[in-house]
Chains A and B, each alone.
Chain A
């Protein structure tokens, strides 16, 4: 009798422990492994593949232009749509990101394989795909870059984080030593732009012919000096990240400046001339022909994290 009581007490104790400490004996379960595979696979497809579309006559990696015939959803930017591969994995295209955000839920679940089949019935996984910078979701063209549902606290899930570069817009890149000016050896640079602007104008200049106490003082458009609220200036010292630059701060030869002008300054259908007024920076290329914004347009990529959670 005593023995039976003792054994039953031990069994009750073990039962209590298993019940109240979730996860202690389920680490090797097949279900959890499947979630891990799903999260890893999803992150790989999104970051390393440009996607694919095809119909009876044509195909390519530019699925963002043919969303009705998507075969595979991938976000990596691709210059050659017939290549089937990308040479720039982890660099994600803005247009693909926005179309990914707009796709129907069933399409995303099916194309990314975020489901399991249980006795012939499709059981969708819960998922959350977020693009984060400083732990906050990125906003691109008013779209918050998050897909899926928020995760419940204490939920058993698989998570994988990838480091990516996200295309967030366009900018024009210039070498400071080849920028044009309206009279030789002056301290101001002139750049032409044909309006109207559909997005903010961003100009990046690297490699200045800078003397001591070199600095950027202000900017003007068609002769009118702009107020500091019309544009923002960021600076990067030789290697590192861009951070804010106050007008008239010191500038070195190998610094990079990124100046972002509000698009409303270029709303009319006419030619604009932007003039950047420096101190002790020499520009030797005399116009006309002036440097043109449109001739040097490149894509802006920003460092972000792609977080895929599946449950």
Chain B
């Protein structure tokens, strides 16, 4: 009888048990997020961001405090800095609608034939898994005058502005 072979069998048994125990402990103690789940979470967050932009735009101002088009029309057009954003009313509404999330808001528009993008609300630098929702609003001379904004739009002109909401979780 080969005693060495017997010993190796027992070692194999011990190693198999160790591997099994390790795998069980790891999977029991942490949530296993498979790629599909992660993708679903991204879809979920992106959907929420789109829902919020839609609601802010379609709801009359007596329903929600800030209407998206009115807020954009009243923008002072200054570049935002961290803790010094240029759309405080929209920021306040977003903080209520997105509890526990961080977000930035950028504005993109065409001025004199070139595309301009400026930060309006800056809360930090997004992580890799941040999602982006977009909504286009249309400004006229009368909406800007009513909201006391800084846009210069002639009475026969329309200004399209893309509002980009970037949301992420820390």
Docked CA distance A238–B64 (Å): 11
Interface bin, chain B? 35 or more
B170 within 8 A of A: no
B114 within 8 A of A: no
A238 close to B65 (CB less than 8 A):
yes
- Cross-chain pair count, CB within 8 angstroms: 104
Docked CA distance A32–B9 (Å): 41
Tell me, rounded to whole Å, the shortest Cβ–Cβ distance linking A224 to chain B.
30
The interface size of chain A toward B, counting residues with CB under 8 Å, comes to 47
Known: A6-B12, A163-B51. A91 touches B89 (CB 8 A): no
Chain A interface, >50% SS class: mixed
Q: Which residues of A contact B13 (CB under 8 A)?
A: 9
Interface of chain A residues 221 through 236 with chain B (CB within 8 A): 236
User: Within the complex, which residue of B17, B32, B48, B65 is in contact with A24, where a contact is CB–CB below 8 Å?
Assistant: B32
B66 close to A239 (CB less than 8 A):
yes
User: Within the complex, which residue of A6, A164, A301 is in contact with B51, where a contact is CB–CB below 8 Å?
Assistant: A164
> Which A-chain residue is minimally distant from B98 (CB atoms)?
A163
User: Within the complex, which residue of B20, B44, B54, B64 is in contact with A303, where a contact is CB–CB below 8 Å?
Assistant: B64
B51 close to A13 (CB less than 8 A):
no
B63 close to A165 (CB less than 8 A):
yes
Tell me, rounded to whole Å, the shortest Cβ–Cβ distance linking B128 to chain A.
21
Binary per-residue interface labels of chain B (8-35) against chain A in the complex, 1 for a CB within 8 Å, 0 otherwise:
1100110011011001100110001011
Known: A27-B36, A91-B55, A163-B52. A13 touches B16 (CB 8 A): yes
B12 close to A21 (CB less than 8 A):
no
Tell me, rounded to whole Å, the shortest Cβ–Cβ distance linking A136 to chain B.
16
The 7 closest A-B pairs by CB, nearest first: A27-B34, A239-B65, A163-B51, A239-B89, A21-B27, A6-B12, A13-B16
Q: 10 additional contacts, CB 8 Å, given A2-B5, A89-B58, A301-B59?
A: A9-B13, A12-B16, A17-B24, A91-B55, A236-B65, A239-B66, A239-B92, A241-B65, A256-B62, A303-B96
Q: Which B residues lie at the A interface, using CB under 8 A?
A: 5, 8-9, 12-13, 16-17, 19-20, 23-24, 27-28, 32, 34-37, 40, 43-44, 47-48, 51-52, 54-55, 58-60, 62-66, 89, 92-93, 96-97
